[in-house]
Structure 1
Amino acid sequence: MKNIQHKIGISLAILMCLSFQLRAQQSYRFSQFFQNAVTFNPAVSGTEEFVDLKIGYRQQWSGLDDAPQTYFISAHAPLGKKEKSYSFQNNSLRISDPSIYERLANARTLTKNRITHGVGGYLVSDQQGIFHQTNGMLTYALHYAVGKSVLSFGLGGGLNNRELDLDGVTVGNTEIPDETYQAYLAQQGKITNVDVTAGLFLRNENFYVGYSAKRLLENELFASIDEIEAKEEMEHYGMLGLRFNINNTLLVSPAAFVKYTASGSVLYDANVRVKYNELFWVGASYRSTETVIGMAGFTLNNLINLGYSYDLGIGEINDFRSGVHEIGLGFMLFNKKDTSPYLW
């Protein structure tokens, strides 16, 4: 009897997952969104003064078999003419606040060239049980100086592939409709669509704000199946962050990240981070799914940075929102100016 109930439960769970995938087709999500913003907004491409390479991993429901997990690799870099280097420090009077040299250099970098360009790309692999989604994209951004700020326009294009492990699905005699399963079966469990994204990003020394939209084409999921009408949902993302220099060594940055889909679902993160002496940082975040997140990271010789976060559900139903580990390893390649990451 228990075996029968177990099999029925598994079948129901599979059909519910299929239905969920059909309706929502949700994208991956990162707790450290600021570390990997190019995967959400192509306008971020080229905002750093070096090649920003990130490699990371996220695992949910730690300790369970076949738990959801996400792998990613991303990179972006500026394009354009090399700027002549000026030494403020060697050509000015001695002052009591040495950090002003870096602020002057950063301000000059942001506004020196009125128009600059950036390129990037990323590959994200998201595994959720019998579902596997891979998203690969190339990005481009044009940066235009507006006063002491820079406004960026970005575009991205690539492919989004979804696969259903048909070997892991068994559908027996049941009155529950399984049209979705049949549609996947007719396409050998694979769906591949062209993905297009666009975004805006405005930044200066004190704040940044961005908006982007993904899945602009809203592709039909089963174009050859007349019985099922299902499209990709367009996704909208918003980012906002402030930057406060408390003193020579402390930088405080509150930030928010919002995701909205065409079906009306809204998710948001709100966090605050403190960075000490450009060496290490700590932070805490709250997500609208009643989840709190602790995070920390460090930078080594302006070449390598590492970030880690842990999600903990605090609501009445939190089993599936707890035990989420996320780690990202970054490399600041060709960082000749020895600058620190703007989005850290």
Structure 2
Amino acid sequence: MLAFYKIIHFKLLIVVCFVLLQHAVVAQQRPIFSQYMFNGLVLNPAYAGNQPQLSISLLHRDQWVNVDGAPKTSSLIAHSALKDRPIGLGLLVSRDKIGVHDDYSIYGSYAYKLNIGVGTLSLGLQAGFNYMVSDFTKLSTFNPDDPLFYGSVSRFSPNFGTGAFFNNRNTYAGISVPYLINNKVYDKEDVISEAREARYYFVTGGHVFQLSPAVKIKPSALIRVQEGQPIGMDINTNVFLQDVLNIGASYRSNDSVILLFELLLNKNMSIGYAYDHTLSRIRQYTDGTHEFMLTYRKALGKGPCHAYF
């Protein structure tokens, strides 16, 4: 009876995800992180509970230092597997500040996992909302009566998304469309705008190679497809030393070169840092981007808390 329940449950998730992926809607642009390979929930709801542990991360990203009004993002990323059940739950809470705009978001994730012999296949759903507040009184404008830039406005934007994630001991791959609804970019009385947020598709993958008992290396990649824009790609390499120190480097196409590290402080705690060296024309105005991460992990059973992805 339990096996029958699992099959029906999984098939229902497949149908729902397929319908969502086929639905002709457009999702909004989201912050880009450099340490996403260890916080996969920011890209894919199916990542929730990918390891038998509770994981809570605090992440802050200060983009394009020295550029006035540049993005600053703070996030809480939490997810866990349910003990003895093929289910993962996740929570993503974020504040993204860009210029006079403050964008607050809360999203919950649900993933159902199925053992397919060679690994685990998860299908995930997420739902939540963004609440954006734009205070145009902070701007200095040539025309104080310009209807585009006066007063303060707010906008509530619900959204939902889906994804699939496969992993085993050494390999992972995923595909996701985490935000599907094409909410308006600008919504203000007496102003007409047809601008819509663009949908993102994410494809990720990586493999861990053990070079020696003390050294492991993990090449990985992320393909980022945004409707109406060129395809973007991240190519990453991480080296794990004694399962205590992780040193990595990434190339983000036409954007930046990234150096990062993660240090395991004890059984449960780790800290991480990433520096993005900007390659685009904006590099002459900025000292790059800094990203800080603090993570707590607690195993739900036997085995280490540290995960390679």
Same fold (TM over 0.5): yes
Q: Is the 8 A contact 1:215 1:232 kept in 2?
A: no
Offset at residue 334 of structure 1 (A): 4.7
Q: 1:315 to 1:166 in 2, by over 3 A?
A: closer
- Is 2:181 the partner of 1:217? yes
Give the letter for the 1:60 counterpart: Q
Residue number in structure 2 paired with 1:39: 42
Preserved contact between residue 49 and residue 339 of structure 1 (Cα < 8 Å) = no
Alignment of 1:150-229 (within 5 A): 150-173=120-143, 181=148, 188-221=152-185, 222=187, 227-229=192-194
Note the 1:68-107 alignment, pairs <5 A.
Answer: 68-81=71-84
Give distance in 2, aligned partners of 1:310 and 1:153.
32
- Max radius of gyration: which structure? 1
CA distance in 2, matches of 1:283, 1:192: 38
Q: Which residue of 1 aligns with 2:243?
A: 278
Q: Secondary structure at the match of 2:31?
A: coil
Larger helix percent:
1
Normalising by structure 2, we get a TM-score of 0.83
Task: Check the 8 A contact 1:280/1:299 in 2, yes or no.
Answer: yes
Q: Give the alignment's Cα RMSD to 1 decimal.
A: 2.6
Contact 2:28 2:180 in 1 (8 A): no
Separation of aligned partners in 2, 1:159 and 1:268? 27
Is the CA contact 2:161–2:177 (under 8 Å) kept in the aligned structure 1? yes
Tell me what 1:264 maps to.
Answer: 229
TM superposition shift of 1:220: 3.7
Aligned to 1:17: none
Pairing 1:124–2:94 present: yes
Aligned residue for 1:11? none
The structure-2 alpha-carbon separation of the partners of 1:303 and 1:170, relative to structure 1 and needing over 3 Å to count, comes to same
Q: Which amino acid in structure 2 is aligned with residue 126 of structure 1?
A: D
User: What is the CA–CA distance in structure 2 between the aligned matches of 1:172 and 1:246, rounded to whole Å?
Assistant: 62
Matched to 1:70, the amino acid is T
Name the amino acid aligned to 1:293: I
Task: Identify if the C-alpha distance between structure 1 residues 65 and 262 changes in structure 2 by more than 3 Å, giving closer, same or farther.
Answer: closer
Confirm or deny: 8 A CA contact 1:60 1:322 kept in the other structure. no
CA pair 189-316 structure 1, distance change in 2 beyond 3 A = closer
1:217 is paired with a residue whose SS is coil
Indicate if the aligned counterparts of 1:272 and 1:284 stay in contact, CA closer than 8 A.
Answer: yes
Name the one with the larger strand percent. Answer: 2
What secondary structure sits across from 2:212 in the alignment? coil
| 1:230 equivalenced with 2:233 (yes/no) | no
Offset at 1:190? 1.1
Unaligned stretches of 5+ residues in structure 1: 1-22, 82-114
Q: Which segments of 5 or more consecutive residues in structure 2 lack a partner in the other structure?
A: 1-25
Q: Distance in 1 between matches of 2:45 and 2:102?
A: 23
Distance, in Å, in 2 between the alignment partners of 1:25 and 1:145 is: 33
Partner of 2:112: 142
SS at match of 1:268: strand
Q: What is the letter of the counterpart of residue 56 of structure 2?
A: L
The alpha carbon displacement at 1:195 in A equals 1.2
What's 2:256 paired with? Answer: 291
Quote the offset at 1:281 in angstroms.
Answer: 1.0
Name the structure 2 match of 1:7: none
Q: Is the 8 A contact 2:27 2:181 kept in 1?
A: no
Distance 2:163 2:137 in 1: 39
| SS in structure 2 of the partner of residue 61 of structure 1 | coil
Counterpart CA distance in 1 for 2:282 and 2:69 is 20
Q: Is the CA contact 1:311–1:321 (under 8 Å) kept in the aligned structure 2? A: no
Equivalent residues, number = 283
Deviation at 1:337, TM superposition (A): 2.4
Q: Provide Cα deviations, 1:36-90, integer angstroms capped at 9, x if missing partner.
A: 2112210000112211000011112224554421101010001142xxxxxxxxx
What is the distance in 1 between the residues matched to 2:60 and 2:89?
A: 23
Q: 1:311 to 1:220 in 2, by over 3 A?
A: closer
Match of 1:252 among 210, 217, 240: 217
Which is worse superposed, 248-257 or 263-272?
Answer: 263-272
SS of equivalent to 1:189: strand
Map Cα deviations across residues 13-48 of structure 1 (whole Å, 9 max, x no partner): xxxxxxxxxx99531010111122112210000112
Instruction: Classify the secondary structure of the residue corresponding to 2:142.
Output: coil
> Is residue 278–residue 340 contact of structure 1 (8 Å, CA) maintained in 2?
no
| Distance in 2, Cα, partners of 1:213 & 1:28 | 14
The aligned counterpart of 2:290 is 325
% identical aligned pairs: 27
Match 1:52 to one of 49, 55, 59: 55
Does the 8 Å contact 1:245/1:251 carry over to 2? yes
Contact preservation (8 Å) 2:269, 2:297: yes
Greater mean deviation of Cα atoms: 228-237 or 199-208:
228-237
